[in-house]
Amino acid sequence: MNSFTYEYPVKVYFGEGAAKKNLPSELTKVGKTVMLAYGGGSIKRNGVYDELMSILKATGKTVVEFTGIMSNPTYAKVQEGARLAVENDVDFILAVGGGSVIDCCKIVSAQAKTSEDIWEMEYGARKFPSEFIPMGSVVTAFGTGAEENCGAVITHEEKKLKAALWGAFYDFTILDPEYTMSMPLKQVISGAFDSLSHSMETYMGSPRVPNYSDEINEATQRSIIRNIRATLADPSDRVARSELIWVAAMAENGMLKIGKVTDFQCHMLEHQLGAYTDCNHGQGLAVLHPVLYRHMLPEASSQFARLAVEVWGVDPKGKSEASLAEAFVDALAAFIKEIGLPSTLTEMGISEATDLRAIADSTVITAGCARKFTPDELLQVLEESI
């Protein structure tokens, strides 16, 4: 295992009624003006908004609302939120929603505390923010694990880039399974597959020999697969839902990454696909993973073979490493169809007319991937995914 330092700053309140039990005490620690950030308004329909507003009012807070945060949040939306925070002297940000809202607020928190352009600071000057508006999050849509780290995926529309920016960690996060029960089933499954992707992308990094972090990861992947199936069998299954919420957090709180150089090549490719098409993230990953992994078979056979046996239950008796590796990719592709996610970009409404060449050329090549892809090979993956 590689050398590592592990420290985790986010306090997690998990379970039914977690907001009522814990949010009031957390709010006593922060200033008077709170920015309540959310997306398209689903929290008003499902009662979460009213519950949180009653807590905010009971603790004497002045509430500034930052609304309309979209899926695949844009850099323009980040700047809008930062201006709102500055104009209203916001003391604390409470982000309520899924990964899009939670990611957007990480960068709002940083941008509001500097006069420099965050994108140019991080990608131009290679400097990172050090001052932030404190934040807490309430998860109502799970999968990304965004509440567990300080990275954010933001789409810069002018630059045609969907890329990582680095902002603040949340001081705390509230994970109440009940808050997610109104999620559309397609969104539940798409989000859960994103969690599986995070786990696979971490597993497929280096070192490539068996290690403790990967053994924990194998259990994580088995849990996601089992609980996706349980959720499809009974969407009201609160046990399965609570498992999926926690496993999404585990996939991105750094625990599985201890001692690893991660892969995330599929994520990088899907991010650029999203920059050009604004597609659903989990669905894009579902389409790309099997295709990309078939290209990686020669270099990644030992890891794929272990996943076949330890995660997907393939009987290794009489099988070569190469055949087990292929069995893993086959099992993954079959599972994607089983759970109703798309297998082609065409099913997602993405046509051959999309500028696949530009997507491939602008995709980041990751250090931890078993195969060092070229832009031409990534173009081939995209073309095979249509």
Q: Does 5 have pLDDT greater than 80?
A: no
In a domain, 6, yes or no: no
Whether 201 and 170 map to the same domain: the answer is no
Domain boundary among 154, 180, 206: 180
Whether 57 and 102 map to the same domain: the answer is yes
Whether 39 and 172 map to the same domain: the answer is yes
Whether 166 and 237 map to the same domain: the answer is no
Mean pLDDT taken over the chain: 95
What pLDDT was estimated at residue 307?
A: 98
Beta strands in the chain (DSSP E): 11-14, 33-37, 62-66, 92-97, 135-139, 151-156, 161-166, 172-175
**What average pLDDT does this structure show over 281-305?**
97
d(CA 300, CA 361): 23
**Model confidence pLDDT, tens digit, residues 124-160:** 999 999 999 999 999 999 989 999 999 999 999 999 9
Domain total in the chain:
2
**Model confidence pLDDT, tens digit, residues 203-251:** 999 999 999 999 999 999 999 999 999 999 999 999 999 999 999 999 9
Whether 234 and 209 map to the same domain: the answer is yes
d(CA 247, CA 121): 33
In a domain, 313, yes or no: yes
Whether 64 and 168 map to the same domain: the answer is yes
Distances (CA, A) of 249 to 121, 198, 308: 29, 10, 24
Residue closest to 239 by CA, chosen among 178, 196, 169: 178
- The b-or-e profile of 197-206 (16+ CB within 10 A means b, else e) is bbbbbbbbbb
**What average pLDDT does this structure show over 363-370?**
95
Range of the domain at 209: 197-385
Whether 207 and 176 map to the same domain: the answer is no
Beta pairing class for 62-66 and 33-37: parallel
> What are 348's two structure tokens?
């997602």
CATH of the domain at 66: 3.40.50.1970
Handedness of CA 85, 88, 89, 94 (dihedral sign): negative
In a domain, 191, yes or no: no
d(CA 210, CA 80): 46
* Percentage above 90 pLDDT, the chain: 95
How many angstroms from the chain centroid is the CA of residue 323?
A: 31
Whether 50 and 82 map to the same domain: the answer is yes
- The b-or-e profile of 289-302 (16+ CB within 10 A means b, else e) is bbbbbebbbeebbb
> What are 99's two structure tokens?
């990964």
In a domain, 109, yes or no: yes
In a domain, 187, yes or no: no
Whether 238 and 276 map to the same domain: the answer is yes
Q: Does 39 have pLDDT greater than 80?
A: yes
Domain boundary among 180, 208, 228: 180
pLDDT bin (cut points 50, 70, 90) of residue 40 is confident
**What average pLDDT does this structure show over 238-266?**
95
Instruction: Please give the torsion angle defined by the CA atoms of residues 116, 101, 142 and 131, in that order, rounded to the nearest 10 degrees.
Output: 30
Whether 369 and 227 map to the same domain: the answer is yes
Domain boundary among 180, 214, 248: 180
**Model confidence pLDDT, tens digit, residues 272-289:** 999 999 999 999 999 999
Q: Does 1 have pLDDT greater than 60?
A: no
Whether 157 and 52 map to the same domain: the answer is yes
* Percentage above 70 pLDDT, the chain: 99
pLDDT bin (cut points 50, 70, 90) of residue 4 is low
Whether 310 and 202 map to the same domain: the answer is yes
In a domain, 278, yes or no: yes
Q: Does 375 have pLDDT greater than 60?
A: yes
In a domain, 99, yes or no: yes
CATH of the domain at 254: 1.20.1090.10
**What average pLDDT does this structure show over 54-81?**
96
